[in-house]
Amino acid sequence: MIEYLNHFAQTLLATCRNVLPIAGIIMGFQLLVIRKPLPYPKNTLIGFLYVLLGIAFFLEGLNMALFPLGNLMADQLTSSEFLGINSQHSMNWQSYCWVYVFAACIGFATALAEPSLLAVALKAEDISAGAISAWGLRLTVSVGVAFGLALGTFRIVTGTELYLYIGISYLIVIVQTLFAPNIIIGLAFDSGGVTTSTVTVPLVTAMGLGLASNVPGRNPLLDGFGLIAFACLFPIIAVLGYAKLAEWRSKDRFSSKP
Amino acid sequence: MFILINLFVKQLFKSFLNLVPILAVVLLFQIFIVRQPIPDVANLIIGTLFVILGLTLFTQGLEQSLFPIGDSMAYAFARKGSLFWLLVFAFCLGFGTTIAEPALIAVADEAASIAAQGDMIEHTALAQEHYSLGLRLTIALSVGVAIVIGVLRIIRGWSLPYLIIGGYCGVVTMSFFAPSEIIGLAFDSGGVTTSTITVPLVTALGVGLASAIKGRNPITDGFGLIAFASLTPIIFVMVYGMLI
């Protein structure tokens, strides 16, 4: 019990240390430049404590429950026994199908639980007066992350060049941006940036490194990178695509009515 | 008091719903595909409860603290009308939050060891530390610049699609010239810069600015700050790789 408390205190302390520069900057500007008190100082302070405690609990829980299990599974699923790799003959990419399914599921689930994405989605729902639903946005982004990670693991398995994939996806993003409804563009690109933080990065890194060290002919140091880039890029494509679809559908509805 | 507790329970349940998919994935795979017993069930249950509690507190604090802070600072700067101080604040917010970001520190250290193995830098601890710190400074600088550009865009009303497409073309052009060892790292670094506390603050700041300035629409103009913050690090890291 005491051990738990001790560990939790350490996590809380680390969170406070990470928040310190932000708190300092805000306080500094509030006191020296704006020189006006915050409207509800007490409420704000309590809320800030909630945030600190919340992040500490969140990280502690992840470390206790999900990370060990996720890492273990990433390990088991990419181990040579599970995949049936033997060094004599090389494998084709189909033998790894469970790895792709696992990557997609983990991507979907972690993106859905990501606090930063939750924040952006809540804000979007708030200011669009409900026109953009927080759940809808998070689901769309999660589908994007799932596809991105599946493709990313496929790339590690096949050993194809990263820049080919990135180049093609960038092209798709640019074309989509040109035609997308203006209202969604900022939000789409923002949701690409927030999908990968507290939850996704550690799990995804473990998976990438495990896969790259077990697949014959891959170098974990070179091929392990790049998964996060995929997880950032495909949500943008998913959100832009969904917005375009929604626009088409509503146009159809209007034109079909006499 | 009763209403408060009721609200809290409702929020707890919502957080629980957020976690259901992650639990389902892990359990299903463990039971049906890997077919091995789950090692530590007690820890799994306690940890999950912690995560749910943490998410609930975070959401509560978000609405009560981080969003209002970002909002009120945006309004205060808009009323003050001093562009200089707003831009200084934007830069500090981007730079200050990124330099201390734990995910970035981990990635930078890893990158340094790769660079040492690839003979890009010397095989000493000092050289690696130097490289890692340089990388972090580069990325923090790029995020600061990104927030400044994003804030300027909201104020001046520049078109977001053109800026972003321009940025992406810049990234593609740069990736032809940058050393191939740095490219994977550069693309990943775009993703790790945005932390759980920065995102709500920056989002509230952008939306607040867009609603405070006449002629701007909070939905079209308010978002996009984080978009820049995940684009510029890619370019800056490639430049760093070329210079080293």
- For residues A139 and A132, the answer to whether their CB atoms sit within 8 Å is no
User: Does any domain span residue A222?
Assistant: yes
What angle (nearest 5°) sits at the alpha carbon of residue B203, between those of residues B60 and B214? Answer: 120
Residues A46, A110, single domain; the answer is no
**Domain-embedded: residue A248:** yes
Is A191 a residue whose pLDDT tops 50?
yes
At residue A258, does pLDDT exceed 50?
A: no
Average pLDDT, chain A: 81
Q: Is residue A96 a part of any domain in this protein?
A: yes
The total of other beta-carbon atoms located within 10 Å of residue A106's CB is 27
Among residues 54-83 of chain B, which lie with CB inside 8 Å of chain A?
A: 54-69, 72-73, 76-77, 80, 82
Residue pointed to by tokens 């026109």: A131
> A239 with A184, same domain?
yes
Q: Which of A15, A16, A45, A50 to mutate to test the interface with B (most CBs of B within 10 A)?
A: A50
- Answer yes or no: do B89 and A29 touch at CB < 8 A: yes
Interhelix angle A182-194/B160-177, rounded to 10 degrees, is: 40
Q: Are B183 and B200 a contacting pair, CB within 8 Å?
A: no
Q: Are residues A148 and A239 in the same domain?
A: yes
* A114 and A232 together in one domain: yes
Does the residue A99 lie in any domain?
Answer: yes
- Shared domain for A158 and A136, answered yes or no, is yes
- Tell me whether residues A51 and B61 touch, CB distance under 8 A: yes
Q: Residue A172 sits in which domain range? A: 78-256
Q: Answer with the one of A65, A91, A121 that is the final residue of a domain.
A: A65
Domain count, chain A: 2
Q: What is the pLDDT of residue A83?
A: 63
pLDDT in the model for residue A237: 94
| Residue A54 shares a structural domain with residue A1 | yes
Q: In this structure, are A138 and A207 located in the same domain? A: yes
Element (H, E) at A14: helix A2-29
For position A234, what pLDDT does the model report?
92
Of the pLDDT bands very low, low, confident and very high (cuts 50, 70, 90), residue A116 is confident
Residue A253 has pLDDT above 70, yes or no: no
Same-domain pairing of A200 and A242: yes
Query: Given a cut of 70, is residue A86 above it in pLDDT?
Result: no
- What values do phi and psi take at B201, rounded to 5? -60, -50
Instruction: Please indicate, yes or no, whether residues A132 and A54 belong to a single structural domain of this protein.
Output: no
**CA gap B136, B196 in Å, rounded:** 18
A248 close contact with B: CB closer than 8 A: no
Q: Does the distance separating the beta carbons of B51 and A65 come in below 8 Å?
A: yes
Positions of chain B with pLDDT lower than 50, given as ranges: none
**Same domain? A220 vs A119:** yes
Would you list the domain boundaries of chain B?
1-68, 82-243
Measured CA to CA, the distance from residue B52 to residue A8 in angstroms comes to 15
Tens-digit pLDDT profile for residues A32-55: 887 877 777 888 888 888 888 888
**Chain B within 8 Å of A216 (Cβ-Cβ)?**
no
d(CA B92, CA B137): 13
At residue A247, the pLDDT reads: 83
Q: Are residues A31 and A123 in the same domain?
A: no
In a domain, A73, yes or no: no
Residues 6+ apart with CB under 8 A from A151: A165, A230, A234
Cβ contact B199–A34 (<8 Å): no
- State the pLDDT at residue A81: 67
How far does the CA of residue A91 sit from the closest CA of chain B (Å)?
20
In a domain? residue A70: no
pLDDT tens for residues A100-111? 888 898 888 888
What pLDDT is recorded for position A88?
Answer: 46
Q: Is A231 exposed, middle or buried, given 0-12, 13-18 or 19+ CB atoms closer than 10 A?
A: buried
Q: Would you list the DSSP string of A205-243?
A: HHHHHHHHHHSTT--HHHHSTTHHHHHHHHHHHHHHHHH
More confident site: A66 or A61: A61
| Three-class secondary structure of residue B215 per DSSP | coil
Q: Is residue A71 part of a domain?
A: no
pLDDT confidence of residue A257? 47
| Domain boundary pick from A21, A41, A65 | A65
Q: Is A114 a domain residue?
A: yes
- Do residues A18 and A131 both lie within one domain? no
Would you call B56 and A54 a contact, using CB atoms and an 8 Å cutoff? yes
Q: Which residues 141-200 in chain B show a CB within 8 A of chain A?
A: 160-161, 164-165, 168-169, 171-172, 175, 181, 183-185, 187-188, 190-200
What's the first-to-final CA gap in chain A, in angstroms? 70
